[in-house]
Amino acid sequence: MARKSKGFSDLLHQKQREEQRTSESFKQLQHKVKESMGEEASLNMVFNPAGEDKMSEVLQEFVDPYMETVNGISELKGWLEIAVLAWNIALMPSEKRQDILDGIFSEMASGTDLQVLEDLRTTVNNLIDRKDRYFSSFQSSITSFDIQDKGDSYFLSVASALEQ
């Protein structure tokens, strides 16, 4: 019987660690969805459904042009929150988007610097435009995400509603 090489063994262990990390991240995300959306929503979550794109990879690609200036996991989380907001608004009919944005930004207006608010509105509108131009084939809404710091990198899990 042929013996496995050390390289193969290392690769196998690396794959097992990655699968364990992915499973742990999915469980954390499932818990987060349960807390925010209820137990039924968390029980209906599917892990990497066959034939579907991994929304974590899609979201990473979606925000990629904005990541050059990000310093640290907390800034990254903030950018992802903005990106998810823009993504989900972009899924709505275009005639409803402005009203939704106006409602969100009027809620934020008290106590927020007007220039910061205007910059944020511009960023959200740019992200909506990016979604429409380059990601229009993706119609799943993003319901939640979890990001874990892995030292020199991060691990992103995304919960999304499958297309109807």
Write down the pLDDT at residue 19: 62
Residues 150 and 72: their CA atoms lie apart, in Å, by 11
Residues 104 and 70: their CA atoms lie apart, in Å, by 24
Write down the pLDDT at residue 45: 58
Higher pLDDT, 17 or 3: 17
Write down the pLDDT at residue 135: 97
Task: Let me know: does 152 contact 159? Beta carbons within 8 Å.
Answer: no
Task: Let me know: does 163 contact 139? Beta carbons within 8 Å.
Answer: yes
Where residue 70 falls (left for φ over 0; alpha for ψ -120 to 50; beta otherwise) is beta
b/e code 86-100 from CB counts within 10 Å (16+ = b)? bbbbbbeeeeebeee
pLDDT tens-digit readout, 54-113: 899 999 999 999 999 888 899 999 999 999 999 999 999 999 999 999 999 888 888 788
- Residue in the block written with tokens 């960023």: 123
Query: Quick one: angle between helices 114-134 and 94-109, nearest 10?
Result: 160
pLDDT tens-digit readout, 104-134: 988 888 878 889 899 999 999 999 999 999 9
Task: Let me know: does 150 contact 22? Beta carbons within 8 Å.
Answer: no
3 state DSSP class of 159? strand
